[in-house]
């Protein structure tokens, strides 16, 4: 029994217990055949569906990895909380809340109705409308400066220089009418803070950055560690901004399923359509999974099973 098997303590269980449970999750959920790769971005449909990696990074820099944790995939929506963090750091949390909102939409991540329903205000930085508006707030005179700010900031979270997957970027740009439409709609309401199509391009580039489950675990552990990357020891954002980002992840990280997610795991999480998922256990560490098949809401099936299992067995649930 560890941490009474489900009650949160201030630290991760002993290393050999963590290792055994991470391995057990991989063995248990590896055979699950539910879900399907995303295909609205054509390049994502071609990623092998069997890939499955789990990585847990502790706030003291301990790493537990099993399976395909060095396989690179595109970060997609998991970029959203990190870019929001960088913008909070850049313009302050009050302006970020005023301009971007921090409430759940209760609607899918690419909803146009959500924009209209909030009379043009964006509702939160985890859904596409709010995330494109967030990227539009990056400091810099032009698109290239803004892009550099975002790419360099995300790289500091990961502790290494992240690069774009050109094929996925091109594939998404060829099928990006919906995001471009959302950005233009926001501009009709003065709710986007740079040229809407250029902001959409920057957002699409950020979604196309290549990461591994190991990178995502370090990024999540940085949010668990008051903004200090546990491997490089660099302070990427202030602790206060971690608290705000984690609050928004709890509210909207899994879109319209955020309530079910919180009920199951008791932790802030964020998913992406390429099959990645992160979970943040404040003070303890970051969990990342990669497994492309998604459920109907666009969240990795194996990722959710793993998060629920490890939250319970490692005693991570905040409540």
Least distance in angstroms from the C-beta of 270 to ligand DON: 8
179 contributes a contact to ligand DON by CB under 6 A: yes
Of 271, 304, 311, 317, the one binding ligand DON (CB under 6 A) is: 271
- In terms of CB distance, is 54 or 132 closer to ligand DON? 132
Binding-site string for ligand DON from residue 188 to residue 217, where x marks contact by CB under 6 A and - marks none: -------------------x----------
Least distance in angstroms from the C-beta of 186 to ligand DON: 14
Of 59, 89, 111, 128, the one binding ligand DON (CB under 6 A) is: 128
d(CA 145, CA 139): 7
Q: Which residues are documented as binding site?
A: 77, 128, 172, 179, 203, 255, 273
Task: Return the range that interacts with ligand DON (CB under 6 A); candidates 26-34, 57-65, 268-276, 307-315.
Answer: 268-276
Least distance in angstroms from the C-beta of 229 to ligand DON: 23
d(CA 299, CA 319): 23
Per CB under 6 A, which of residues 134..173 are in contact with ligand DON?
172
Q: Which residues are documented as binding site for substrate?
A: 77, 128, 172, 179, 203, 255, 273
273 contributes a contact to ligand DON by CB under 6 A: yes
Q: Per this entry, what is the length of the chain?
A: 319
The residue number with the shortest CB distance to ligand DON is: 77
**Closest to 210 in 3D by CA, of 163, 259, 274:** 163
- In terms of CB distance, is 66 or 132 closer to ligand DON? 132
- In terms of CB distance, is 230 or 298 closer to ligand DON? 298
User: By the 8 A CB rule, do 232 and 159 touch?
Assistant: yes
3 contributes a contact to ligand DON by CB under 6 A: no
Q: Give me 41's structure tokens.
A: 């971005």
- In terms of CB distance, is 141 or 296 closer to ligand DON? 296
298 contributes a contact to ligand DON by CB under 6 A: yes
Least distance in angstroms from the C-beta of 109 to ligand DON: 5
289 contributes a contact to ligand DON by CB under 6 A: no
Task: Return the range that interacts with ligand DON (CB under 6 A); candidates 237-245, 269-277, 285-293, 309-317.
Answer: 269-277
Q: Which residues bind ligand DON (CB under 6 A)?
A: 76-77, 109-110, 128, 172, 179, 207, 271-273, 298
């Amino acid at each position: 029994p560890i941490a009474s098997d489900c009650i949160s303590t201030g630290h991760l269980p002993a290393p050999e217990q963590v290792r055994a449970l991470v391995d057990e999750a991989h063995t248990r959920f590896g055979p699950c055949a539910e879900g399907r790769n995303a295909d609205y971005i054509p390049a994502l449909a071609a990623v092998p569906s069997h890939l499955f990696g789990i990585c847990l990074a502790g706030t003291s820099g301990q790493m537990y990895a099993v399976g395909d944790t060095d396989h690179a995939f595109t970060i997609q929506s998991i970029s959203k909380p990190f870019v929001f963090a960088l913008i909070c750091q850049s313009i302050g949390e009050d302006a970020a809340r005023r301009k971007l909102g921090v409430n759940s939409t209760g609607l899918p991540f690419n909803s146009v109705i959500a924009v209209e329903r909030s009379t043009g205000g964006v509702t939160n930085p985890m859904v596409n409308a709010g995330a494109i508006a967030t990227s539009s707030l990056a400091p810099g005179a032009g698109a290239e400066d803004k892009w550099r700010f975002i790419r360099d900031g995300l790289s500091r979270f990961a502790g290494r220089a992240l690069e774009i997957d050109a094929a996925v970027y091109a594939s998404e740009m060829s099928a990006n009418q919906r995001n471009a439409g959302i950005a233009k709609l926001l501009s009709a309401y003065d709710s986007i803070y740079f040229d809407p199509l250029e902001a959409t391009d920057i957002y699409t580039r950020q979604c196309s950055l290549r990461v591994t489950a190991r990178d995502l675990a370090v990024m999540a552990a940085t949010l668990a560690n008051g903004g200090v990357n546990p491997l490089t020891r660099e302070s990427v954002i202030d602790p206060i901004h971690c608290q705000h980002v984690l609050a928004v992840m709890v509210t909207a990280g899994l879109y319209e399923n955020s309530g079910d997610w919180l009920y199951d795991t008791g932790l802030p999480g964020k998913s992406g359509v390429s099959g990645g998922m992160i979970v943040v256990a404040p003070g303890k560490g970051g969990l990342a999974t990669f497994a492309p098949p998604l459920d109907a809401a666009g969240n990795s099936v194996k990722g959710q099973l793993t998060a629920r299992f490890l939250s319970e067995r490692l005693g991570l649930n905040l409540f």
